[in-house]
Amino acid sequence: MKSIIDWLAGIEKAAWEAHERAAVIFGDDPEFSRLLKELAEDEKIHYSVLKRSSPLILDEDVQSIVSMDELSREQIMKPLRRCGEKIASGEVSKKDLVESIVEIEFSELNHVFLYFINTLVKAEDEDFSSAVENIEDHKGRIEEYVKSRPELSGCLGMIRRLPTVGGEKILIVDDSQVNLDLLRGVLAGEGEIVEAGNGAEALERLKEGRYAAVVTDVYMPRMNGVELYINAVERYPDLKGRFIFFTSTHNPEHLDFIRSRRLNYLKKPSPINAIRRMVREITSGENEES
């Protein structure tokens, strides 16, 4: 997890420096320049919080269930790199810059940052808690500015579309709230995310409507993931190919159950892109049994 946090800190530093340079370029537009300076200050705070987190990350109780694969890194870096190139050229228009900022700040994968911060909040450190509030305020400032400029209406459409790309319901099941937060961040934009803390709670959630995918841990209190699967497919047969076991289990009985039935399975930790790809295959019907 430490390597991911360090990488995210580098992203925040690059964004803060880009906003500062852009504020100088647009110095003749006081309102826009002020917004850019505020965004730069926000990014500086995020960077500082992430750098301060290193001692905490070494705590064995703070582990990541995901890893940052190269494709996910590139998807995050691409709009930031493009934004930096536009600013460096000195010929960037306000519309171009705002579109780049919106693409970065409201991208699906940028939600991952928020949920890694939420992981750190479990330490009940006031700085980490305030960082979560600051992130939401940060995006709110961008949205309010865009709303006040009719010529940027296209950017407002981007803001409203990006966080909710999918319309399907996805159930995530884990007895760790930290893991649920991380999965919610990873799957942001794939659909409406519903949480459950164990298999018994998940069965109650399944009564509430159709789910396109169920991502579940195995080891949980009250009812484990294998028991959840058995009960769920008995009641809702169409869920048979929609389960993903996302777990670190080494229990041979559980593994034999999953493998003998050729069920979807990911080991903790798994690359972000692998998790998202498997969920997309299921929700799109690409992974359905014949």
219-255, pLDDT tens digit by residue? 999 999 999 999 999 999 989 999 999 988 889 999 9
Token duo for residue 258: 């999953």
- Mean pLDDT over 115-136 rounds to 57
- Mean pLDDT over 115-123 rounds to 55
SS (H, E, C) 202-219: HHHHHCCCCCCEEEECCC
- Residue 61 pLDDT level (bands cut at 50, 70, 90): very low
- Mean pLDDT over 15-20 rounds to 90
Q: Is the pLDDT of residue 121 over 60?
A: no
The predicted structure's pLDDT at residue 265: 95
Q: Is the pLDDT of residue 166 over 50?
A: no
186 vs 158, which has greater pLDDT? 186
103 vs 61, which has greater pLDDT? 103
- Residue 116 pLDDT level (bands cut at 50, 70, 90): low
SS3 for 192?
strand
The predicted structure's pLDDT at residue 102: 82
Torsion sign over Cα 59, 62, 67, 73: negative
Q: Are 172 and 195 in contact (CB under 8 A)?
A: yes
pTM: 0.60
Domain 165-283 carries which CATH code?
Answer: 3.40.50.2300
d(CA 212, CA 25): 47
- Residue 60 pLDDT level (bands cut at 50, 70, 90): very low
- Residue 190 pLDDT level (bands cut at 50, 70, 90): confident
The predicted structure's pLDDT at residue 162: 46
The predicted structure's pLDDT at residue 52: 75
The predicted structure's pLDDT at residue 114: 59
The predicted structure's pLDDT at residue 131: 60
The predicted structure's pLDDT at residue 198: 96
- Residue 165 pLDDT level (bands cut at 50, 70, 90): very low
Q: What integer best gives the mean pLDDT of the chain?
A: 81
